[in-house]
Structures are given as C-alpha cells and as structure tokens.
Amino acid sequence: MNICQVVPYFPYKEHLQGHPIENEYHIGGVERHVYNLSTELAKLNHEVTVITTRSPSHDYLSDITEFKVIRVPVDLRVYSSPISLGLLNLTFEEFDVIHAHTPVPFIAELVAIKNLKERKPFILTYHNDISKHGTFGKFVSMVYNSIFGRLLLECSDTIIATTKSYAFHSRQLRRYLHKVVVVPNGVDIKKFHPNLDRERIRRKHSIDKDAKIVLFVGRLDTYKGCKHLLSAFAMVTKKIRNAYLILVGRGPLKPVLRKIATKLGIKGRVFFAGYVKDEELPYYYASCDVFVLPSISEHEGFGIVQLEAMACGKPVVATNIPGVSEVDPRELATIHVPPKDERALAEAILTVLKNEELAVKMGVNGRKLVEKNYSWSRIVKNILKIYQNTCFKHY
C-alpha cells in the first residue's frame, strides 16, 4: 500500500540521537508512535510518506531516510499549535490511505479539509482530547472542539482509539463510537528488554548499587502529576533512607519541581536527568526498582512509557485514569492508585520497594503482557487490517 502519515511534529535524526533541541520542536509519545509505525510499515515493503511541519532549525538537522518525509513550513501558531497553510497545496492522489494523528490542532484538520475534494480513505488516530489550562485555554479548547475538532471527526472514515475506556470517557469521541476501532500503542520489545546493565545509570549518577530507585519518564508538565510524585516520594524517603527519584524529560514545570524538591528537603535525593538519548533510555528503566506514571488528567490518553518499563521487566505504579489503567486492567504488573492521592501513591511505591518477591513477579508479568499484547509486529498487523477494511468500505 501507499500510505500517508500526517502528524504535527516528527523526529529528525538528531532527536533520535539525543540532540538537545526538544524545547523548540516537541517530540513526545505521539511522534515516536508515528515513527515506529512508519518504520514497521516500511519494513513490510509498504510505501510510507510522512507529512509534518518543519523545525525552525531545519537547515542544520539531518532527516530520516527510512521513508519519505515532507516537511511543510509553519505559517503561524495559535496557542502554540502550528498552522501550515502549505498543506492545502499538496496533492494526495498517489496515496491509498491517509492516516492522521491528533491531539495537536490544525495539521490533521487542514489535510482533512483538503481531502474533502480528493476523497481518499481517511483514518484518524485519536491519541487524547485537546484541553488547555486556564480560563482562556478552556475557552480556546471549547471553540476548537466544537468547530475544527468536530469537523475532523466527521471527515474521518475510521477513528482509532488506543483504549476502549478512553473512547467512552472522551466527550468528543462519544458521539462517534460507531466509527471507533481500538488499537493500543506498541513498544519495541527488542530495544526495551530485561537483560540490560542495571548499574550503568547508577554509576553515571553515583547512586549506590543497593539503593532503591524510583523512575519517571515524560514531559515535565502539570498533567503528568510530578508535583504529587515529589510529595509522595518525600513520604517514601522517611521509610527508606537510600531511595532516589530520577526524573527523565524536559518541560515547563522543571523550575517549579526543583523548588518543590528543595522545600520538601529531598533535593539531594532527586535527579533531573533531562532529555535522554533514545539509545540510553532503556538503561534508565534497567536502573530502577519501580517505574511511576502519576498522570492526573485526560491529557494522558495511554502512557507508552509504562509499556517501555514493563518491557524491561519493571513493576509499575500508575494512576487509575481512563486509558492508562486499561493497559494492565488485571494489575498483573501494575498497582493503580487514584490521581492526586499522594499518600496512596507513596504506599504503592513502598509496597513494591519493600517486597522484592512481588517486584520480581510484577516485572515478569509485565514482560509477558507486552510480548502478548503490545509488540509492534502485532500492532502493525491490526492497523493494516484497518487500512484494508477502510479502503474496502470507502470504495
């Protein structure tokens, strides 16, 4: 098949190699999802073209070469979301199917508008709702969802949701459930695996081999719940003296989190690792004793990082919000806690850290779970079936 992937941002080689340009061109879970999906499709000899925006630093960045990437200049930004009117000048006649990805507004919408004329099969992966903070942000979100968001969902022949619970929870998706098909996110089980050097990151940060490490990986933003994680970790340190917290990632909340760590008296126990190279990331999972995903809102629609932790054989503590809790509904590898409940979060972390037998069992269960349900080979087969079914119904 000749497949077009549409995503607001997409990695350059420098992102995959850990080049520190993340602040000016956001690369997160959605972007890496599209990269992995495109890579796997190309391996199966499908023609893949990714249409995305261009980084302000594109002149010195080297591009992906495994498949075709078309980068369109950004004309303006609305509430930090890029708008590229050049998308309306592109033609999609050569493609068998168009597969767009949200939640960043206006890129998928412009392609959907363009496609009203060309009428190619149009599939949308709805990773999570668009919801901004603050009074003005909520107003902008409401306007977007009632006009552009609705248009995008109306124009989609098939909508992929990453979990059933999130599809039912989402205010925007509820009226389009007749179009929804559930396909979860995937993880590279060859890259993330249990047989990695546990001491590599401990040596890097001068952490004793007998110390207990709590790990967070993700954007340092409000919806990730890192403030609550710090408060919970402060409780953990009162019970376990040689416990450390490593925060991997960047984001606007970093200065605030540093101040909170100082105020709580745990500054020396918290490491801000910043943006980590792709090849280095698995070793951070290998170093930890428990991985924590403390997200608090619908901005977190799935949590790919918990798959990466499970693939590395690590026990997980996560909040029981829709989407996130469906990854491991039977809690075979995970302890679920209510969002913002710092005491429950601390108790769950302590339960894992104090019970090595339980931690090992959860880690083994997690690896089995991702091998069974979340390997990219399995995910791609499911998505290809959706492509074929959508094309068959469309024509």
User: 148 — phi, psi (to 5°)?
Assistant: -70, -40
- For residues 133, 135, 137, 138, the Cα torsion angle rounded to the nearest 10 degrees is 90
CATH topology identical between 2-186+376-394 and 200-373: yes
Q: What is the pTM of this model?
A: 0.90
Domain 2-186+376-394 has CATH 3.40.50.2000: yes
Token pair for 336:
């679920």
> What is the 8-class DSSP label of residue 231?
H
The residue whose two tokens read 């249990």 is 194
Position 161, amino acid: A
Q: Where are the domains of the chain?
A: 2-186+376-394, 200-373
Q: Which CATH class is domain 200-373?
A: alpha beta
pLDDT of res. 299: 81
Enter the tokens of residue 311: 């693939």
Buried b (16+ CB within 10 A) or exposed e, 131-166: bbeeeeeeebbeebbeebbeebbebbbbbbbbbebb
Q: How many CB atoms sit inside 10 A of residue 334's CB?
A: 27
Measured distance CA(380)–CA(34) in Å, rounded: 11
pLDDT score for 9 = 93
- What backbone torsions phi and psi does residue 309 show, to the nearest 5 degrees? -65, -45
Instruction: Find the helix or strand (DSSP H, E) in which 153 lies.
Output: helix 150-155
| CA–centroid distance for 363 within its chain | 21
What CA–CA distance (Å, rounded) separates 230 from 251? 16
Eight-class DSSP state of 148? I
Residue 265: alpha-carbon gap to chain centroid: 31
Which residues does the chain have with pLDDT short of 70? 18-24, 131-137
The CA-CA-CA angle for residues 266, 270, 276, to 5°, reads 165
47 in helix, strand or coil?
strand
The Cα angle at residue 373 between residues 170 and 332, in degrees rounded to 5: 85
CB atoms within 10 A of CB 273: 19
Distances (CA, A) of 206 to 36, 61, 261: 33, 33, 19
Q: 387 vs 52, 181, 194, 384, 391, CA distance in Å?
A: 20, 11, 33, 5, 6
Distance CA(288)–CA(340), nearest Å, equals: 23
**Could you give the angle at the alpha carbon of 166 between the alpha carbons of 80 and 246, nearest 5°?**
65
